[in-house]
Amino acid sequence: MNPRSRLIVGLDVATVANAEKLVSTLGDTVAFYKIGYQLAFAGGLEFARDLARSGKQVFLDMKLLDIDNTVASAVENIVKMGMTMLTLHAYPKAMQAAVAAADGSGLCLLGVTVLTSMDDGDLSDAGYQVNARDLVLKRAAQAKAAGMGGIVCSAQEAEAVRAILGPGMAVVTPGIRPAGADAGDQKRVMTPAQALGAGASHLVVARPIVRAADPKAAAEAILSDMKTALA
């Protein structure tokens, strides 16, 4: 895949109007967008449909987790929206239900392992008796066993995850920051080149593009960095 199909820009903005303006500014430079909670609850789900109809790829970051029947019903409706990727928390039963519901659709289901804003201390506070890396690897193996399309993890775990998943599954890495950029609230970050070198298939970048003075130039710089790394 070329860099343009690997870069997912996170539309982490407050309104659909802001998202529309950003997509217009980025133009043909960006082909793949992520829509998460912030925009979804401000009219972003219909906007996601519009993006898909316009030919863009859409990563719907809903991190689903519920009883099996509810997860399956949600996935069936999301398939109808024309989405490219969908996240759910990497709990085995939820993943199995989602895989069955999405069968034959082409929707790439991604298991969220450990949020990139969390480290070992955060997991301990949440009651887990395992470190972040070990939990990511366990959930990666469970995602593969469930028949998922890939996982979401920190780029810091991408190399070890790729060894578990093999070459065919997606490894989507948020928390990507260009060299010298502020990490913000992310705790496990890498540069675009480092993430690709570690085995990531797709990079999710939000603030370094969305909040840049010139978002298109910022996206082009990241794509250039990715192209160099892939070469």
* Block mean pLDDT (10 aa), the chain, length 231: 92 97 97 97 96 97 97 98 97 97 97 85 88 91 98 91 95 81 54 91 94 95 92 82
Look at residue 182 in the predicted model and tell me its pLDDT: 55
| Bridge partners (DSSP) listed for residue 55 | none
Task: State the binding site for substrate.
Answer: 12, 34, 61-70, 116, 177, 186, 206-207
Task: State the binding site.
Answer: 12, 34, 61-70, 116, 177, 186, 206-207
Candidates 61, 144, 187, 225; catalytic one: 61
Candidates 63, 138, 216, 227; catalytic one: 63
Do the strands 57-64 and 32-35 form a parallel or antiparallel pair, or are they unpaired? parallel
Look at residue 167 in the predicted model and tell me its pLDDT: 93
φ, ψ for residue 109 (rounded to 5)? -90, 130
Candidates 56, 66, 122, 227; catalytic one: 66
Place of tokens 């192209």: 227
Told to judge if 66 belongs to the known catalytic residues of this protein, a careful annotator would answer yes
Look at residue 118 in the predicted model and tell me its pLDDT: 82
The full set of domains in the chain, from first to last, is: 3-230 (3.20.20.70)
Look at residue 180 in the predicted model and tell me its pLDDT: 52
Q: Are 119 and 137 in contact (CB under 8 A)?
A: no
> Left if phi > 0, otherwise alpha if psi is -120 to 50, otherwise beta: which for 100?
alpha
Look at residue 183 in the predicted model and tell me its pLDDT: 47
Q: 95 is written with which tokens?
A: 């993943």
Measure the CA–CA gap between 68 and 71, rounded to whole angstroms.
Answer: 5
Look at residue 224 in the predicted model and tell me its pLDDT: 93
Residue whose C-alpha is closest to residue 153's, from 111, 206, 96? 111
Look at residue 184 in the predicted model and tell me its pLDDT: 53
Look at residue 114 in the predicted model and tell me its pLDDT: 85
Look at residue 108 in the predicted model and tell me its pLDDT: 98
State how far the alpha carbon of 123 is from the alpha carbons of 53, 93, 131, 157, 161, in Å.
Answer: 39, 21, 7, 16, 19
Measure the CA–CA gap between 174 and 154, rounded to whole angstroms.
Answer: 6
Told to judge if 185 belongs to the known catalytic residues of this protein, a careful annotator would answer no
Three-state SS annotation for the chain: CCHHHHEEEECCCCCHHHHHHHHHHHHHHCCEEEECHHHHHHHHHHHHHHHHHCCCEEEEEEEECCCHHHHHHHHHHHHHCCCCEEEEECCHHHHHHHHHHHCCCCCEEEEECCCCCCCHHHHHHCCCCCCHHHHHHHHHHHHHHHCCCEEECCHHHHHHHHHHHCCCCEEEECCECCCCCCCCCCCCCECHHHHHHHCCCEEEECHHHHCCCCHHHHHHHHHHHHHHHHC
Look at residue 181 in the predicted model and tell me its pLDDT: 54
